[in-house]
Structure 1
Amino acid sequence: MDERRNHLLGVIFVTAGAVTWSSAGFFTRLIGLDYPTMIAGRGIFGAIGMLAIIILLAPKTWISQFRGMTRWDGLFIANYIFGTICYVSSLGQTSIAHNAVIFATLPFIAALFGWMFLKTLPSREAVFSSIVAMVGVVVMVGFSNDGALLGDILSFLGTASMAASMIIVRRYPDVNIPAGSTIASFVSGVIALPFADLAMVTPTHFTYLVLFGLLNASAGLTLYSMGSKRLPPVETALISLIDTPLSPFWVWLAFNETMGPQTLVGGMIVLFAVVLHIWLSQKRQRLRSASAASART
C-alpha cells in the first residue's frame, strides 16, 4: 500500500473512532447509574465485543493472539486500564465542557511524549492546527466554573493515558492492540464490579450498558487502533479533537443541556482545525508523492 493511501486510511479510521468515542458523555447521561457500575458494564461488554471482532477476523488463529505477550503488551494493558477508569469517572465528576477542554490538550501531550520517547518533532501543519484547535476549545469553554477539581484531574490523567497509548503503539509496533485492549477492557470492568450497585440495574439499564460497551468501547477502539498505527502520534491526537465539539453536542441534542453561542462558535473552530489539518497533511503527502515520482524518472 502506498504511503498516501495508508495515511488517508489512518485519517478515516481515527476520525470514525473519535466520532464513536464522543458518545461517552451521552451514554453516561443516558444510563444515569453510579460510575463503578457504568465502568464495569462498559469494560465487560466492550471486551465481549472486541473478542467477537477478533474471532470474526481470525476464526482459526484468534487464540494465538493472546499468547506470547511481551512486557510492552503488559504496559499497554496497564495504561489502558488506568486511562479507562480515569476517563469514565471524570465524566461524572466534572462538566462535559471541562472534560472537552482538557481532552483538547491531547495533541500537546502527545507531541511532548513523542519528543521525549520517540525523538520525533511534529510537523508544522500539526502544530499550527493544534493551536487553532486550542483557540476553539478556549472559546467554547470560556472561563466557566462548572467543573470540579477531582474531575478535572481525572480527565487530565485519562487524556495523558491516551497520549501514552499512542506512543507505546508507535514505539513498539508489535504490541497486540486488539488482544491487549480486550484483556484491559475486561480487567477494568472486573476491577469496578465489586463497587457497582447491581441492584439498581433494570433491563433498560442493562441494554444501555451493553450498547455503551459495544459501541463506545469495542467499535471505537477497533477503529482507533486501525488508524493510530498509520499516523504520527500528534496527528492522531489532533484528529481525535473532533470529540471535543461532538461530546457536548450529543448531550445537548438528547438531553437539551444548554449549549451557548461560545460553545457553538468554539466547536466550529475545532472542527475547522481538524479539517484544515487533514487538508494540509494530504497536500503534503501529494507533494511528497510527486517529488518521489519525479526523482525516479
Structure 2
Amino acid sequence: MTEMGSDHRHLAGVALVTGSTVFFALAGVFTKSTTAGPWTIAGWRGLTGAALIAAYVLWRRRQGAGETTLRLGWRGWLLTVVGAVSSILFIASFKYTYVANVAVIYATVPFIAAAIEWALFRQRPRSRTMATAAISFAGVAIIVSGGLGAVNLFGDLLALAMTAGCALYLVMIRAFRDTPAVWAAAVSALILFAASWFVVDPLAVSANDVVVMCAFGVSFAVAVILWTEGAKLLPAAEAGLLGTAEIPLAALFAWLLLAELPPATSVVGGAIILAAVLVHAGRDIATVRKDATAVG
C-alpha cells in the first residue's frame, strides 16, 4: 500500500472512531430524556439497534467484506448474555447517578480487563498499566465517596458493575477471535428486547418516549458500526486514546442538554481518571511509533 493510501486509511480511521464517540456520549442524554424505566428503554433501543446492526452485517457479507460466519456457538451466546447484562446495567446506572460519573467510571474498563486477564490467563499486566489502574481506581473511589449517603450511590455502584461486565466482554472478544462479535452485539440487543416483555410492558409508554428510545437505538447502532470500521484502520492504542473523547463529551452533553452539573467529587475523580487514561494511552502510542520507526 502506498504512503498516501496509508495516510487516507489512517485519517478515515480517526474520523470514524471520533464520530463513534459522539454517538456513544449521547447515551446518558437519551436515557434521561425519557420517563420510561431501564427495561423499557433497553427493549426499544434493543429492537431498533439490533435491526440496524443486523442489516449492516448482512450488507457487509454481501459485499464480501463482513464476518465470515454468523454462527455464534457457545462462545458467541456467552458474549451475547454478558453484553445484554452489561447493557441493562449501563442504562440503569444513568437513571440513578450523574452522566459524568458513569462516563468516567467506564473509562477504567481497560484496567479491569487487564486484571481479569491476569486472573484467568495469568497474563501479567505491565507495571505502567498497574500504576495507571491504581490511580484510576483512586479516582473512582473519590467519585463513589461523593455519593455516600446520597441517592446517586446506587447508580455509581451500578456503573461499577457495568464496567466490570464490559471489561469481561472485552476479554472474551480477545479470547474468542473467531466469534462474530458485531453479530453477537445485534443478537444481544435483540435479547434485551425479548427480555423486556417479561419484566415490563414496553408498549405502556407515550409516543414521545418511543421516538426518543428509537432514536437511542439508531445512535447505538451508528456508534457500534463507526467504531467497528474505524478500529480496523488504527493501532489499538490510538483507537483507545480517541475513544476517551467520549468522557468529556458525555459530561458536556449532559450539561448542555440536561443542565446536569456533577458535584465537586465527581469532577476531581473524573479529572484524575481522564488524566491517567490519556497519559497511559499516549505512552502506548509513543511506544508503537518508536517500534514502527525501528522496524522501518
TM range (shorter): 0.7 to 0.9
Deviation at 1:134, TM superposition (A): 4.8
| Equivalent position to 1:221, from 224, 227, 240 | 224
Contact conserved, 1:130 with 1:238, CA < 8 A, in 2? no
Structure 1 position 42 matched with structure 2 position 51: no
Measured against aligned partners, the alpha-carbon deviations of 1:129-185 in whole angstroms (never above 9, x if no partner) come to 445555555666763443455434432222111111111111111110121111111
Mean Cα deviation higher: 97-106 or 169-178: 97-106
RMSD: 3.8
Q: CA deviation at 1:127?
A: 4.0
Mapped to 2, the partners of 1:154 and 1:72 lie a distance apart of 25
Task: Specify the code of the residue in structure 2 equivalent to 1:279.
Answer: G
Counterpart selection for 1:99 from 98, 102, 107 = 102
Q: Secondary structure at the match of 1:200?
A: coil
* Compared CA separation, residues 67 and 244, structure 1 to 2 (3 A): closer
Q: Deviations over 1:75-104 (max 9, x none)?
A: 111111111122212221334354345434
Change (3 A) 1:141 1:231: farther
Q: 1:200 aligns with which of 180, 187, 205?
A: 205
2:155 maps to 151
Q: Which residue of 2 aligns with 1:256?
A: 259
- Does the alignment pair 1:161 with 2:165? yes
The question of whether the paired residues in 2 share the 8 Å contact of 1:163 and 1:237 is answered with: no
Match of 1:74 in 2: 77
What SS does the aligned partner of 2:62 have? coil
CA contact 1:107–1:237 (8 Å) conserved in 2: no
Query: Judging changes above 3 Å, is the alpha-carbon distance between structure 1 residues 98 and 147 closer, same or farther for their aligned structure 2 residues?
Result: farther
Moved more, 131-140 or 24-33: 131-140
Query: Could you tell me whether the CA contact under 8 Å between 2:52 and 2:218 is conserved in 1?
Result: yes
Describe how 1:1-297 pairs up with structure 2 within 5 A. 16-59=19-62, 67-100=70-103, 102-131=105-134, 133-134=136-137, 143-145=146-148, 146-148=150-152, 150-194=154-198, 195-202=200-207, 204-215=208-219, 217-226=220-229, 227=231, 241-259=244-262, 263=266, 267-293=270-296
Q: Higher mean Cα deviation, 25-34 or 161-170?
A: 25-34
Tell me how far apart the structure 1 counterparts of residues 51 and 140 of structure 2 sit (CA, whole Å): 35
User: Are 2:107 and 2:273, in contact at CA under 8 Å, matched by a contact in 1?
Assistant: no
- In structure 1, how many angstroms separate the alpha carbons of the residues matched to 2:143 and 2:57? 39
Q: Quick one: percent identity of the two aligned structures?
A: 24
- Aligned-pair CA distance for 1:273: 3.7
Separation in 1, partners of 2:104, 2:270: 11
- What is the TM-score with the length of structure 2 in the denominator? 0.78
Residue ranges of structure 1 left out of the alignment (5+ in a row): none
After TM superposition, give the deviation of residue 43 of structure 1 in Å.
Answer: 0.6
**Separation in structure 2 between the aligned mates of residue 229 and residue 124 of structure 1, nearest angstrom:** 28
CA distance in 1, matches of 2:25, 2:75: 28
Question: What is the distance in 2 between the residues matched to 1:121 and 1:18?
Answer: 30
Q: Please report the TM-score for the alignment, with normalisation by the length of structure 1.
A: 0.78
Q: How many residues end up aligned between the 2 structures?
A: 289
- Whichever residue aligns with residue 77 of structure 2, its letter is G
Paired with 1:289 and 1:67, the residues of 2 have a C-alpha distance of 35
